[in-house]
Every structure is written in C-alpha cells, then in structure tokens.
Chain A
C-alpha cells in the first residue's frame, strides 16, 4: 500500500516557467488536498477536492490550478512561476471530512529563482 505519492521531490524553476506537481493516492479516498509550507510557518491550504470532477479554492489559490479527473490523481499546476511560490508542497488525502485519517505525501521542495 503506497499511500500518497508525490513527484518530484525537488525542483528548481526559473521565473515564468510552468510545471505540474503530481499527486496520486491508492486508498480510494474522496478528499484530496494541496498545502504549501513556507519556512517557519504552518501549512496553508491551496486547493482541495471532495471527489472526481469537484475542486475548490483554499486559503492561498492564486497562481495555481488543479484538476481531479480521477479519484486517484490530483495534480497541481503552477503557471508563470514566481519567487513567492518557493515553498514545500504537500499533497494529502482523507476518506472523509473528519481529518481523523489524513495521509500526507512526503512533500515537494520547490525553488523559483
């Protein structure tokens, strides 16, 4: 059971470049989330999804897009990368809204230079 798998683990982008952070879970969870963690800070919710075809904005959605075409996959798209998007990105999934069982991926360290 792989859990939540994020790729890549590390990435360096130049300002203005675009990229997609991949997230996949094999637990058949309906709820999936993208968070970013800035140095010395807690996690901020970027986007979330309550099921295939349904996505919604979190606290800090600007500069990002998501899609949820399948239950398993929840990619995060960065368009026109900016230095302010330098952060560690976490994908997470849960079977329901209670957060009692919230599974995190191992994170993606992204630097925009």
Chain B
C-alpha cells in the first residue's frame, strides 16, 4: 500500500531560524512525484514545493528546499529564515495517479 508518514505532529522554530519537517513514504513505484503543501488557518491548501522522483537534484523554492533520499524513501522540507507567516499545517503528499497525503505537521513560529 502507498502510505505517507509524517512523524512530527508539531514543530516550533524561532523567527529567522531554520527548521526541517520530516516525511517518509512507502511505494513500489519508480516514477512518482512528491509535494509539500501548506495549510494556513484559512484552510486553503497552497503548494510549497514539488519534487520529481527521477530527478536527483533537490528542489528549491526561495527559502524552501527539500532533502530527497529516494533509496530511503525520505522527503524532508527545510525552511530557512523562518517567518511568522510560515506558521501553518504542512502536509507531505505522494503521487502516482492519486495524491496520498500524510497526517500533517503543525509548525509554530515564535518571534
């Protein structure tokens, strides 16, 4: 079965510091996509970053980057220079033909 596991229900970080959110997944597929979504209190789901499994290079979007370890089936999100607006639920998701979500990590950012 395809599963996505986020082992950190909650994380906290001080403003301007760096935080890493963990995600592991289980699949027998070789070609797939991985995503991190942000869900602020408004409940809107916002795509943060996307990684294609066949690309070895880790994806980066401004302050957000991933550490993709295909053999270990690990896909962590690093947020650098954390800002108060980064506070939200973060969901890791895996896709072949359907999008499978993890249970989420709540990130708190302290001034």
Which A residues are in CB contact (< 8 Å) with B45? 43, 90, 92, 102, 104
Name the CB-closest residue of B to A90.
Answer: B45
Binary per-residue interface labels of chain B (1-15) against chain A in the complex, 1 for a CB within 8 Å, 0 otherwise: 000100001000000
Per the bound structure, the CA–CA distance linking A46 and B35 in Å amounts to 20
Cβ of B33 within 8 Å of any chain A Cβ, yes or no, is yes
Whether the pair B101, A43 counts as a contact (CB closer than 8 A) is yes
B33 near A106 with CB under 8 A, answer no
Residue A98 at the chain B interface, CB threshold 8 Å: yes
The answer to whether B43 touches A107, judged by C-beta atoms less than 8 angstroms apart, is yes
Who on chain A is nearest to B98 by CB?
A: A45
**Residue of A whose beta carbon sits closest to that of B101:** A42
A42 touches B98 (CB 8 A): no
For chain A, residues 29 to 68, give those with C-beta under 8 angstroms from any C-beta of chain B: 33, 40-45, 48, 58-59
Q: Which residues of A contact B35 (CB under 8 A)?
A: 99
Nearest CB on B from A37, distance (A): 9
Q: Number of contacting residues on B, CB 8 A?
A: 20
Interface residue range, chain A: 20 to 34
Q: In the assembled complex, which residues on chain B have CB atoms less than 8 Å from the CB atom of A48?
A: 98
Tell yes or no: A14 within 8 A of B by CB.
no
Return the contact of B91 from the options A43, A100, A101, A107 (Cβ within 8 A). Answer: A43
Cβ contact within 8 Å between B33 and A42: no
Q: Are A40 and B103 in contact (CB under 8 A)?
A: yes
B43 proximity list for chain A (CB < 8 A): 88, 90, 106-107
Cβ distance A13 to chain B, nearest Cβ, rounded Å: 19
Is B99's CB under 8 angstroms from A45's CB?
Answer: yes
Complex A-B, nearest 6 residue pairs according to Cβ-Cβ distance, in ascending order: A42-B101, A104-B45, A107-B43, A43-B101, A42-B103, A99-B95
A99 adjacent to B33 (CB under 8 Å): yes
